C-alpha cells in the first residue's frame, strides 16, 4: 500500500511507489527505485518535499470525506488541464489530487 512521507523521514532501502519528478516533469528517481538518506539533499535542491513509498502498513492519510476529495479534484483540474494517456499519467493525476486533499485537510 502506498504511503506519502516527508523527505526527512527517508530511510535507506525504502522503495518508491511513484516516481519522483521535478517541477519540469523530469523523473529524478523512477518508481521501484530504492531511496537512500543521501538522496535528501538532492530532493531538497529540486524542491521535493514528499515522496510516495511502498508500505505494508495502512495509510489513513488517504482517507478523505467526499467533500474534501471533490474540492481537491476541482482545485487540481483548475490548475492543470490534462487528459491521461496511460496508467502512469492516471497515477500522477491521482497523486496530485491526493496531495491537494492532504493540504486542504491540514488547513481545516
pTM beyond cutoff 0.75:
no
Say what the pLDDT of residue 54 is. Answer: 87
Planar angle of CA 43, 70, 19, nearest 5 degrees: 25
Domain boundaries, the chain: 2-60, 64-107
Say what the pLDDT of residue 16 is. Answer: 92
Architecture of the domain made up of 2-60: Alpha-Beta Complex (3.90)
Dump pLDDT digits (tens) for 54-105: 887 644 456 667 788 889 889 999 988 888 898 888 888 888 888 888 888 8
Does 21 have pLDDT greater than 90?
A: no
In this structure, how many other beta carbons lie within 10 angstroms of the beta carbon of residue 50? 14
Say what the pLDDT of residue 35 is. Answer: 95
List, in sequence order, the alpha helices (H) in the chain: 39-45, 66-79, 87-107
Amino acid at each position: 500500500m502506498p504511503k506519502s512521507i516527508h523527505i526527512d523521514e527517508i530511510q535507506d532501502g525504502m522503495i518508491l511507489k511513484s516516481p519522483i519528478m521535478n517541477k519540469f516533469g523530469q523523473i529524478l528517481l523512477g518508481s521501484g527505485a530504492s531511496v537512500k538518506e543521501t538522496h535528501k539533499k538532492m530532493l531538497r535542491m529540486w524542491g521535493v518535499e514528499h515522496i510516495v513509498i511502498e508500505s505494508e502498513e495502512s495509510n489513513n492519510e488517504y482517507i478523505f470525506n467526499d467533500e474534501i476529495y471533490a474540492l481537491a479534484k476541482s482545485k487540481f483540474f483548475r490548475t492543470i488541464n490534462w487528459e491521461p494517456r496511460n496508467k502512469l499519467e492516471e497515477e500522477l493525476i491521482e497523486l496530485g489530487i491526493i496531495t491537494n486533499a492532504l493540504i486542504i485537510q491540514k488547513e481545516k
